[in-house]
């Protein structure tokens, strides 16, 4: 599978090879751009946006998105195969992701249909007499989006579909490890009637070129999904006036009270922690369980982990696939071994199965100073900590510079509401895992976990500006 350069007028500056994270086999190639290609991509964005007479009207944007959704559905197995091969997420979960990508496009269509301005009251004082004012929404301008590897279909849909819906031309740079899904999706948007210059997927090997693309003064909005280190650095270099949204990682905390229904909650915690080998920004990572049940929670999770199938992500029965890079397995192994050396109790797992696979692992009472307690492990590891009172658990849950989604498991409404009030998080789920998400809800990292709010309607709104018209007439 090979994708040529997609920037009109640009010349390829090299080829990126894509390999399976599971077995290392080559699965495709993508041509990449250099500084000259990035400049052409920016010129293309600016040109189509500044030609206001040829902006895509709402009915055309709706038709393009409708055709794209139907085509993605028709090619679902092909797209699932590509995403599994390059990303390593098991088949059943990748199928869910593809359905979410289709839904993300449909939600974007709904955003177009429901977008509206408002009337601004006038004639409320002598100065505003004989006036009528209202607003409507226009596209903010050229968008540059940088995406992550862990959801190669739906993340692209989350960044590209709202841009199309809002009327913004967009350049999308997928992750180095998973560009094939992005290029395949953009091809579908083009085949569905979107002019090529309105959506240009690019691959870049030189980080300086990526920075050139993102920080150019012609960029009106920057969308980033990836590591905090890179996201905050790029935000600090944005041109004056460029707006942005950043989605980084977290170390999602869960509090399990002594009255929680463990039979119901533990399978959810196992899914939320081990889904996609823990490579999700809101994966269950820290569970604070009441001392009376903490060991039962840890051993119960260990038993569930022991029944999970780890292996080839293309296998229909596989629960956990590979980590995205072999060095990530090395890192996860190192962090777990360090935690055990610092007196964490290994309940289950704790071993690599191959250069790409790591066992689902449960640790009981790691030191709060261990890396597994302080940083996002982004691997299939869940840590369980004992607590004596809920305020102690909340204090520990809130102690890190990350805040995203959190959870509380309890049968007591007062306990649930208390945790909802006091947990530092943008979302608190009750009797569910932290990785729950639907694509029309707000999804926001706080503190170092991000900036702005994701979710299709929120991204759509961010990619527009509100413009006001004021009519002055003696007839009013």
Q: Could you list the active site residues?
A: 247, 281
Q: pLDDT band for position 168 (50/70/90)?
A: very high
Q: Specify the pTM.
A: 0.94
- Pair 68, 136 in one domain: yes
Is residue 303 included in any domain, yes or no? Answer: yes
Is residue 474 included in any domain, yes or no? Answer: no
DSSP letter at 29 equals: E
Q: pLDDT band for position 95 (50/70/90)?
A: very high
Place of tokens 């007439």: 473
- Pair 190, 317 in one domain: no
pLDDT score recorded for residue 23: 95
Q: Residue 63: is it exposed, middle or buried by C-beta count within 10 angstroms (0-12/13-18/19+)?
A: middle
Is residue 406 included in any domain, yes or no? Answer: yes
pLDDT score recorded for residue 215: 97
At 224, which helix (H) or strand (E)? strand 221-225
- The chain-wide mean pLDDT, for the chain, equals 96
pLDDT score recorded for residue 438: 94
Place of tokens 């192994």: 333
At 105, which helix (H) or strand (E)? helix 91-114
- Pair 277, 195 in one domain: no
- Kind of pairing between the strands at 243-247 and 446-447: unpaired
- CA neighbor of 437 nearest in space, from 270, 219, 282, 234: 282
Residues 6+ positions from 472 with CB-CB distance below 8 Å = 130, 131
Q: pLDDT band for position 263 (50/70/90)?
A: very high
Supply φ then ψ for residue 267, to 5 degrees: -60, -35
- Pair 12, 63 in one domain: yes
pLDDT score recorded for residue 459: 97
pLDDT score recorded for residue 279: 96
For the chain, the maximum distance between any two Cα atoms, rounded to a whole number of angstroms, is: 82
- Pair 243, 306 in one domain: no
- Pair 222, 155 in one domain: yes
Name the domain count of the chain: 2
Q: pLDDT band for position 237 (50/70/90)?
A: very high
Tell me the torsion sign for CA atoms 87, 90, 94, 96: negative
Is residue 257 included in any domain, yes or no? Answer: yes
What is the arithmetic mean of pLDDT over 45-70?
97
- Pair 315, 419 in one domain: yes
- The pLDDT tens digits for 180-199 are 999 999 999 999 999 999 99
- Pair 146, 276 in one domain: no
- Kind of pairing between the strands at 252-256 and 464-472: unpaired
- CA neighbor of 183 nearest in space, from 83, 279, 254: 83
Distance (Å, whole) CA 127 – CA 114: 33
- Pair 281, 402 in one domain: yes
Query: Percentage of the chain with pLDDT > 70?
Result: 100
Distance (Å, whole) CA 84 – CA 66: 25
At 93, which helix (H) or strand (E)? helix 91-114
Which CATH number do you get for residue 35? 3.40.605.10
Q: Residue 25: is it exposed, middle or buried by C-beta count within 10 angstroms (0-12/13-18/19+)?
A: exposed
**Cβ neighbours, 10 Å, residue 447:** 18
Is residue 309 included in any domain, yes or no? Answer: yes
- Pair 70, 204 in one domain: yes
Which CATH number do you get for residue 321? 3.40.309.10
pLDDT score recorded for residue 220: 98
Q: pLDDT band for position 54 (50/70/90)?
A: very high
Is residue 436 included in any domain, yes or no? Answer: no
- The pLDDT tens digits for 209-224 are 999 999 999 999 999 9
- The pLDDT tens digits for 382-440 are 999 999 999 999 999 999 999 999 999 999 999 999 999 999 999 999 999 999 999 99
Is residue 231 included in any domain, yes or no? Answer: yes
- Pair 283, 392 in one domain: yes
pLDDT score recorded for residue 121: 97
Is residue 444 included in any domain, yes or no? Answer: no
Domain range spanning residue 425?
A: 252-430
- Pair 159, 41 in one domain: yes
Long-range CB contacts (< 8 A, 24+ apart) of 109-112?
Answer: 109/62, 109/65, 109/66, 109/69, 109/165, 111/162, 111/165, 111/166, 111/456, 111/457, 111/460, 112/58, 112/61, 112/62, 112/65, 112/165
């Amino acid at each position: 599978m090979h994708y040529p350069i997609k920037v009109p007028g640009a010349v390829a500056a090299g080829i990126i090879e894509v390999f399976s994270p599971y077995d290392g086999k080559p699965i495709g190639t993508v041509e990449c751009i250099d500084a000259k290609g990035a400049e052409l991509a920016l010129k293309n964005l600016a040109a189509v946006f500044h030609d206001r007479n040829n902006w895509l009207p709402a009915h055309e944007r709706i038709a393009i998105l409708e055709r794209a959704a139907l085509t993605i559905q028709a090619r679902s197995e092909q797209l699932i195969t590509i995403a599994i091969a390059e990303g390593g997420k098991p088949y059943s979960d990748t199928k869910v992701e593809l359905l979410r990508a289709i839904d993300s496009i449909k939600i974007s269509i709904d955003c177009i249909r429901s977008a509206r301005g408002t009337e601004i009251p006038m004639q409320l004082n002598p100065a505003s007499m004989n006036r009528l004012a209202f607003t409507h929404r226009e596209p903010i301008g050229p968008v540059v989006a940088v995406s992550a590897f862990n959801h190669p279909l739906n993340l692209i849909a989350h960044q590209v579909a709202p841009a199309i819906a809002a009327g913004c031309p967009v350049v999308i740079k997928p992750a180095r490890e998973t560009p094939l899904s992005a290029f395949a999706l953009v091809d579908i948007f083009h085949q569905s009637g979107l002019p090529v210059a309105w959506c240009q997927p690019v691959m870049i090997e030189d980080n300086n070129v990526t920075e050139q693309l993102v920080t150019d003064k012609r960029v009106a909005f920057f969308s980033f999904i990836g590591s905090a280190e890179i996201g905050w650095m790029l935000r600090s270099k944005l041109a004056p006036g460029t707006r942005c949204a950043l989605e980084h990682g977290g170390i999602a905390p869960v509090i399990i009270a002594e009255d929680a229904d463990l039979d119901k909650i533990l399978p959810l915690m196992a899914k939320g922690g081990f889904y996609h080998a823990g490579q999700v920004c809101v994966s269950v990572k820290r569970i604070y369980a009441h001392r009376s049940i903490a060991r039962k929670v840890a051993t119960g999770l260990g038993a569930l982990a022991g029944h999970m199938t780890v292996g080839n992500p293309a296998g229909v029965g596989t629960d956990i696939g590979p980590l995205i890079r072999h060095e990530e397995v090395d890192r996860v192994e190192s962090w777990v071994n360090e935690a055990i050396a610092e007196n964490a109790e290994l309940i289950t797992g704790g071993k690599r199965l191959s250069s790409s696979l790591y066992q689902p692992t449960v640790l009981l009472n790691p030191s709060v100073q261990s890396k597994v307690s302080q940083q996002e492990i982004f691997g299939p590891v869940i840590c369980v900590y004992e607590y004596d009172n809920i305020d102690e658990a909340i204090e520990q849950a809130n102690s890190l510079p990350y805040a995203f989604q959190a959870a509380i498991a309890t049968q007591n409404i007062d306990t649930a509401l208390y945790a909802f009030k006091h947990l530092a998080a943008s979302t608190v789920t009750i009797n569910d895992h932290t990785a729950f998400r639907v694509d029309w809800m707000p999804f926001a990292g706080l503190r170092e976990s991000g900036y702005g709010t994701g979710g299709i309607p929120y991204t759509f709104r961010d990619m527009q500006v509100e413009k006001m018209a004021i009519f002055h007439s003696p007839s009013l």
